């Protein structure tokens, strides 16, 4: 195995390979799949053995490299703060190059190379539908999952922004995917090329408000890791709205009990734990915290392309996280569109934070009529 990207993770691989599995309990994939091969230790040892030429990559080893959602939960318990997801996603390039990557990863790369996003659709007409007719204070980057699959979340974002004095207009350049699927598939060369082109496309925007925490994390954290510096200041929609929650029309929180799931990219990825909670507590009266929350929060199984490479395990992870977050069957509220989809696939009720806040605002309007 060669290449400077992989070389930069040699120490990370070695830390895990020689570790007495301190974070064994933390990994959602090894919690769902009873095999030492997919434990943090097992996956990183595979990468260590291949990078030190003690073993060549084979189909079983390649599969292990993909058994990671990139949730960063192991990092919370690691003395080295090892960035295991980043290290494993980088090692996946070897599986891509040797045509050993799982089918779900290879098809994602193929679709992306054709359409520039993982959904195989042209996003421009969707962007045009939501563009503002008049100048707005904030340019919004919804992310392709929301654009292609969750129109109601985007509509909620626009309505909540309006109500809180933060009018959004969908940015023309949000017809581009941020590139996370290429990063998670392990095609780091293509990801870097895509990131450079996206940084160029975003140049006209001094500031961008990003709806999907995965996109915000990719733009803010992953781009610099591959040497791409954005000239655009990227903020999450939760930061912007939380700052303005006091501007919402005065109304008591709704008489509901919901559970809150910390999205990995928003929480551990960007350190935003309180911003979504401020919005949630304004909107509903009873918020149940998960057994593990903030930096220790569980994962919904939706990251790292796991739903495409280990579909059954990803749903098991979502089901277990929903049980931990909402043991009495409460609706699981999350700021992550992918997590919401995962909870629904696991047969649980789930709601996007933005649609919930919109319901609260609409409830106020109804009371006034
Ligand atoms: S992430 Fe840290 S704690 Fe976990 S196996 Fe690696 S070195 Fe050990
Ligand atoms: S990043 Fe998450 S899924 Fe990947 S090894 Fe660490 S705990 Fe497991």
Decide if 118 is inside a domain. Answer: no
Q: Of 243, 278, 310, which closes a domain?
A: 243
Q: How far is the CA of 78 from the centre of ligand 1 (A)?
A: 5
Q: For 315, phi and psi rounded to 5 degrees?
A: -70, -35
Same domain, 183 and 279: no
At 58 the pLDDT is 95
Mean pLDDT for 186-192 is 97
Same domain, 86 and 179: no
Cβ 90 vs Cβ 9: under 8 Å: yes
Can you give the pTM of this predicted structure? 0.96
Nearest residue to 12 (alpha-carbon basis) of 37, 47, 36? 47
Decide if 114 is inside a domain. Answer: no
CA-proximal residue: ligand 1, atom 3 (nearest): 78
Same domain, 179 and 265: no
Decide if 97 is inside a domain. Answer: yes
Task: Please choose from 31, 74, 307, 313 the residue to mutate so as to test ligand 2's pocket, defined by most ligand atoms within 8 A of CB.
Answer: 74
Cβ 171 vs Cβ 139: under 8 Å: yes
Give me the domain span that covers residue 9: 4-101
Q: Of 214, 243, 272, which closes a domain?
A: 243
Tens of pLDDT, residues 238-277: 999 999 999 988 899 999 999 999 999 999 999 999 999 9
Q: Check pLDDT > 90 for residue 327.
A: yes
Same domain, 255 and 230: no
Residue 156 Cβ inside 6 Å of ligand 1? The answer reads no
Tens of pLDDT, residues 222-235: 999 999 999 999 99
Residue 268 Cβ inside 6 Å of ligand 2? The answer reads no
Same domain, 352 and 284: yes
Instruction: Please report, for residues 171, 177, 211, 280, 285, the alpha-carbon distance to residue 156 in angstroms, rounded to integers and kept in the order given.
Output: 16, 21, 11, 14, 20
Same domain, 176 and 211: yes
CA-proximal residue: ligand 2, atom 7 (nearest): 27
Same domain, 237 and 262: no
Q: Check pLDDT > 60 for residue 23.
A: yes
Same domain, 274 and 356: yes
Q: Check pLDDT > 50 for residue 163.
A: yes
Decide if 134 is inside a domain. Answer: yes
Pick the range with the lowest mean pLDDT from 88-97, 98-107, 360-369. 360-369
Same domain, 149 and 87: no
Domain count, the chain: 3
Task: Please choose from 9, 44, 70, 264 the residue to mutate so as to test ligand 2's pocket, defined by most ligand atoms within 8 A of CB.
Answer: 70
At 359 the pLDDT is 97
The backbone region for 302, taken as left when phi is positive above 0, alpha when psi lies in -120 to 50, beta otherwise, is: alpha
At 5 the pLDDT is 83
Ligand positioned closest to the Cα atom of 77: 1
Q: Of 243, 271, 287, which closes a domain?
A: 243
At 326 the pLDDT is 97
Q: Which atom of ligand 1 is nearest to the CA of 44?
A: 6
| C-alpha to C-alpha distance for 88 and 18, rounded to whole angstroms | 16
Q: How far is the CA of 134 from the centre of ligand 2 (A)?
A: 44
pLDDT band at 365 (very low <50, low <70, confident <90, very high): low
pLDDT band at 6 (very low <50, low <70, confident <90, very high): confident
Q: Check pLDDT > 70 for residue 367.
A: no
Task: Please choose from 23, 44, 296 the residue to mutate so as to test ligand 1's pocket, defined by most ligand atoms within 8 A of CB.
Answer: 23
At 364 the pLDDT is 56
The order of strands in the sheet holding 207-210 is: 168-170, 138-141, 207-210, 233-236
Average pLDDT, the chain: 95
Decide if 119 is inside a domain. Answer: no
Cβ neighbours, 10 Å, residue 316:
18
């Amino acid at each position: 195995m060669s290449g400077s990207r992989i070389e930069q993770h040699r120490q990370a691989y070695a830390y895990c390979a020689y570790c007495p599995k301190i974070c064994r309990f933390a990994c959602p994939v090894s919690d769902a799949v009873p095999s030492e091969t997919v434990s943090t230790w097992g996956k990183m040892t595979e990468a260590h053995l291949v990078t030190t030429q003690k073993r060549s990559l084979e189909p079983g080893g390649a599969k292990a490299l993909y058994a990671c959602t990139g949730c960063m939960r192991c990092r919370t318990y690691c003395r080295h703060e090892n960035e295991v997801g980043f290290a494993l996603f980088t090692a996946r390039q070897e599986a891509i190059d040797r045509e050993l990557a799982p089918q779900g990863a290879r098809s994602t790369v193929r679709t992306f190379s054709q359409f520039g996003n993982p959904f195989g659709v042209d996003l421009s007409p969707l962007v045009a539908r939501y563009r503002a007719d008049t100048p707005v204070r904030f340019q919004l980057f919804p992310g392709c999952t929301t654009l292609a699959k969750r129109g109601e979340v985007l509509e909620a974002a626009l309505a909540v922004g309006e109500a809180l004095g933060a009018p959004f207009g969908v940015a023309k350049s949000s017809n581009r995917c941020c590139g996370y699927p290429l990063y998670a598939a392990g095609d780091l060369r293509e990801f870097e090329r895509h990131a450079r082109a996206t940084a160029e496309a975003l140049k006209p925007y001094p500031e961008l408000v990003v709806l999907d925490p995965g996109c915000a994390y990719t733009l803010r954290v992953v781009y610099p890791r591959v040497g791409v510096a954005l000239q655009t200041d990227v903020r999450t929609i939760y930061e912007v709205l939380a700052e303005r929650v006091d501007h919402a029309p005065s109304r008591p929180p709704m008489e509901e009990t919901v559970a809150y799931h910390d999205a990995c990219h928003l929480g551990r990825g960007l350190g935003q734990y309180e911003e979504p909670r401020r919005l949630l507590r304004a909107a509903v009266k009873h918020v149940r915290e998960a057994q593990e929350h903030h930096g220790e929060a569980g994962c919904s199984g939706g990251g790292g392309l796991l739903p495409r490479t280990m579909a059954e395990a990803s749903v098991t992870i979502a089901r277990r996280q929903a049980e931990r977050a909402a043991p009495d069957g409460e609706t699981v509220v999350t700021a992550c569109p992918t997590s919401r989809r995962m909870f629904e696939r696991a047969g649980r009720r789930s709601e996007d934070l933005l649609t919930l806040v919109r319901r609260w605002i609409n409830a106020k309007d109804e009371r006034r009529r």
